C-alpha cells in the first residue's frame, strides 16, 4: 500500500520541491519528472523513479498502477497525495497525475558508442530548455545516437527541459562536455563535424554527408564561436527567403537532421 502524505511540511515533499533548483539537483544527483506520458516513456525505457507521487483520484488508472507496481518492485517508494501538493512539486496549476524523483544518470562522453548510429546531434551553449527538449525529441525521431551538449548549456534535468523533452530525455543518450574535451574525442575516431552556420555560402542540401555525421548547432543568440566553426569539416546554411535572417535553433537542427536522414534513406 502507498504511504499517504498530504502535508506541505513533510520532509519528503520539501526535498522533492527543492529539486526544482539546480543547486539541490546537483547536491542530490536527482531530478523531477512529471506527467503520466513522460513517466510511462521512462518506465518503458527502463528508468523508474526512486519515489513516485500520484493523486488519490488517479490511483486506479492502468498506467498509474503499472508505474506504482514497477516502482515498488524496483525498491522505490509510492506516495499517494493530492493535487495541491502535485502542483507545488511540478510548478503547474494543472499538474499531471504523477510526479517522480529520478536519479540523474551519467552524461560523460565515455558512455557514448559512436558506432551505434550514423547521426548525432551536438548543441553548443544552448540556453532555452524548450529548445533542448525539442532537440531531444528530434534526436529520438530521426534515430540519432544521442545529443552532446557543449560548454555551459541549460540543465537537461531541469523541470522545464524534462517536460519539453516529452520523455525523450529517457530514450536518447545525452552527454555533456567542454569543447576542449569534445573535439579530441570526436577526432579520435570516425565522424564528420557539420556546423549550421550563417557564415558560408554552402547550401545544406549540396553536400553528401559522411557517416557518422555530427550536426553542430550554436547558441541561439550568438551562434558558434569562430574558433569552433573553423574546426568543423563543413559549414552549411539553409536558404532564407523572407525577412528573417535565421531559424530557431531547434527548428534548424530538425531540418538539418532530416536532410541527413533523407540522404541515407534514399541512398
Q: Would the pLDDT of 236 be above 90? A: yes
% residues pLDDT > 70 (the chain)? 99
CA-based radius of gyration for the chain: 20
Question: Would you place residue 69 in the very low, low, confident or very high pLDDT band (cuts 50, 70, 90)?
Answer: very high
Residue-number span of the structural domain to which 78 is assigned: 3-103
Q: Would the pLDDT of 198 be above 90? A: no
Do 169 and 37 belong together in one domain? no
Do 86 and 25 belong together in one domain? yes
Question: Would you place residue 46 in the very low, low, confident or very high pLDDT band (cuts 50, 70, 90)?
Answer: very high
Summarize the confidence of residues 90-113 as an average pLDDT: 88
Q: Which cell numbers hold the place of 159?
A: 523541470
Give the pLDDT confidence score for residue 266 in this predicted structure: 79
Summarize the confidence of residues 183-200 as an average pLDDT: 95
Q: Which cell numbers hold the place of 75?
A: 525498491
Cβ proximity of 55 and 36 under 8 Å: no
**Last residue of some domain: 84, 103, 122?**
103
Give the pLDDT confidence score for residue 113 in this predicted structure: 94
User: Look-up: residue for cell 559522411?
Assistant: 210
Give the pLDDT confidence score for residue 116 in this predicted structure: 94
Do 83 and 134 belong together in one domain? no
Q: Would the pLDDT of 24 be above 80? A: yes
Do 245 and 146 belong together in one domain? yes
CATH code at position 175: 3.40.1280.10
Give the pLDDT confidence score for residue 234 in this predicted structure: 97
End-to-end CA distance of the chain: 55
Our count of domains for the chain comes to 2
Do 41 and 165 belong together in one domain? no
Give the pLDDT confidence score for residue 68 in this predicted structure: 96
CATH code at position 72: 3.30.1330.30
d(CA 19, CA 129): 16
Instruction: Share the mean pLDDT of the chain.
Output: 94
Summarize the confidence of residues 249-264 as an average pLDDT: 95
Question: Would you place residue 155 in the very low, low, confident or very high pLDDT band (cuts 50, 70, 90)?
Answer: very high
d(CA 99, CA 93): 14
Amino acid at each position: 500500500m502507498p504511504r499517504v502524505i498530504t502535508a506541505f511540511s513533510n520532509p519528503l515533499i520539501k526535498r522533492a520541491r527543492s529539486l526544482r533548483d539546480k543547486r539541490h539537483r546537483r547536491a542530490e544527483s536527482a531530478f523531477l519528472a512529471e506527467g503520466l506520458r513522460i513517466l510511462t516513456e521512462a518506465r518503458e525505457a527502463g528508468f523508474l523513479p526512486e519515489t513516485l507521487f500520484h493523486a488519490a483520484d488517479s490511483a486506479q488508472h492502468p498506467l498509474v498502477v503499472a508505474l506504482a507496481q514497477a516502482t515498488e518492485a524496483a525498491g522505490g517508494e509510492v506516495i499517494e497525495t493530492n493535487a495541491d501538493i502535485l502542483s507545488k512539486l511540478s510548478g503547474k496549476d494543472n499538474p499531471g497525475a504523477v510526479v517522480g524523483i529520478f536519479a540523474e544518470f551519467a552524461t560523460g562522453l565515455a558512455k557514448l558508442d559512436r558506432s551505434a548510429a550514423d547521426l548525432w546531434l551536438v548543441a553548443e551553449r544552448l540556453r532555452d530548455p524548450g529548445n533542448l527538449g525539442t532537440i531531444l525529441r528530434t534526436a529520438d525521431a530521426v534515430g540519432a545516437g544521442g545529443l552532446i551538449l557543449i560548454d555551459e548549456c541549460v540543465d537537461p534535468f531541469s523541470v522545464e527541459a524534462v517536460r519539453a523533452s516529452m520523455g525523450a530525455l529517457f530514450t536518447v543518450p545525452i552527454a555533456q562536455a567542454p569543447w576542449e574535451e569534445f573535439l579530441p574525442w570526436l577526432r579520435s575516431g570516425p565522424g564528420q563535424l557539420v556546423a549550421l552556420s550563417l557564415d558560408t555560402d554552402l547550401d545544406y542540401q549540396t553536400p553528401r554527408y559522411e557517416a557518422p555525421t555530427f550536426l553542430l548547432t550554436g547558441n541561439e543568440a550568438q551562434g558558434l564561436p569562430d574558433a569552433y566553426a573553423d574546426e568543423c569539416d563543413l559549414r552549411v546554411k539553409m536558404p532564407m527567403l523572407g525577412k528573417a535572417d535565421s531559424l530557431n535553433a531547434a527548428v534548424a537542427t530538425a531540418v538539418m537532421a532530416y536532410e541527413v536522414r533523407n540522404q541515407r534513406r534514399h541512398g
